[in-house]
Amino acid sequence: MKSKKPIVYIAETDWNKLLNYAQCAYDEMKSEIGGMAEMVPDKDGDMWIKRPTILKQEVAPANCDLDETALAQYYGTVAKKYGSSDFLWWHSHADMSAFWSATDKKTIEDNDGGSAHTWSLVLNIDGDYIMQLDVFNLAGMKLHKSQEFELCFIRRQYTDAFKKKVLDLCEKSITTSVFNKPHHIGYYRGIIGGGTTSVHGASNVNQLSLPVNTNVDYGIVDDTIAYDGMELYNKATDMVELALTEFNGDRMTFPEFQAAIENANKVYDGYRVPTKEKDVPFYAHQLESARI
């Protein structure tokens, strides 16, 4: 009887990202592509693949070589930013099957770099994969063992902002009324907190109008312009996304990032302003699932 493989978890959004890297490299260059990710245990002791990314590299139909300098920079940046010390090397096999080639096996052995184990993942554009842990040192002995893992794809739970959007756009009964300004209502749990919505007395909840002169940068200059809730939501989400990109690209400081979130809240009050820099990465994860 075949024994069940142990499991490693990955968010569906991260898995889709890997598949899209593979697909894009195949579409554009008929090549493989590879990169890194972090291996992070959660509080229950389950292992997760986090933040998969690509690095500068040389690609070919049956090969992809990460740039050594880029890789060294990656280790340094990630260790500093997220405190990760365990990593995954992943690469695609374009439209070929997912298996360890002779080159791959050699790479895995070379990857140990003095550490006791390595994680490796190979996938193709159809979503076939092999996820493997290689251990090079057991009880102090130089002993090489390989263990395959099953991936478990996890859909992130929707955020409060997502819920707010659903509640804003859906009303069980047909009524009409207009908000004077974006509301703040209730459930404030996540990084992206909800505004309230208990509120809607009678209402066409879709109709929001903003406070006068809230944000001239975004063309909201008088209270006669009515935006619908979805437009406001998307506009604010775009602002948060842009701020994230700038912050992650080191083009925006943390205080500037906080100010940008406050600005986004003037458009649609749904984002908690982070007080600590280390809270920022959560925005990225939450935004991925907040998009409808």
Q: Which residues bind Zn ion (CB under 5 A)?
A: 101, 104
Q: How far is the CB of 117 from Zn ion (least distance, A)?
A: 19
Q: Is 58 helix (H, G, I), strand (E, B) or coil?
A: strand
- Under a CB-based contact definition with an 8 Å cutoff, are residues 37 and 90 in contact? yes
Q: In which residue are the tokens 């096996």 written? A: 105
**What is the three-state SS of 17-35?**
HHHHHHHHHHHHHCCCCEE
- Do the bridges between strand 7-11 and strand 47-54 make them parallel or antiparallel, or are there none, so unpaired? parallel
Cα angle: 115, vertex 120, 125; to 5 degrees: 165
Task: Please report, in angstroms and rounded to a whole number, the separation of the first and last CA atoms in the chain.
Answer: 44
Provide the phi-psi class of 61: left if phi over 0, else alpha when psi is between -120 and 50, else beta.
Answer: alpha
Q: Which is nearer to Zn ion, 104 or 269 (CB)?
A: 104
